[in-house]
Amino acid sequence: MIKLKCIDYGFECDFVSEGEIESVLEEFGRHTNEEHGIDYSKEVLMQIILRKTTHT
């Protein structure tokens, strides 16, 4: 299970995406694009997840 929170990446936003990797990649990417105007590719989001899981 993966969890990404906007607040962890500098946004003043309470959005949290939690679940399986593929669904989190899609949901968090769609949210940041639509709400914050930042279009993260799935590859960039995967790097964020990999860094997060290796540092916790």
Summarised one tens digit per residue, pLDDT across range 38-49 is 998 989 989 988
For the chain, which residues make up each domain, given as ranges? Answer: 2-54
Q: Give pLDDT, residue 56.
A: 53
Summarised one tens digit per residue, pLDDT across range 12-40 is 999 999 999 999 999 999 999 999 999 98
The partner residues of 18 in beta bridges, in order of sequence, read: 3
Token pair in block for residue 54: 């290796």
Q: What are phi and psi of 17, to 5 degrees?
A: -120, 125
Q: Give pLDDT, residue 9.
A: 86
Q: Give pLDDT, residue 54.
A: 74
The maximal CA–CA distance of the chain, rounded, in angstroms, is: 29
- C-alpha span between 42 and 13 (Å, rounded): 21
- Any idea what DSSP says for residue 5? E
Q: What is the pTM of this model?
A: 0.83
The residue assigned the tokens 């860094």 is 51
Q: Give pLDDT, residue 49.
A: 84
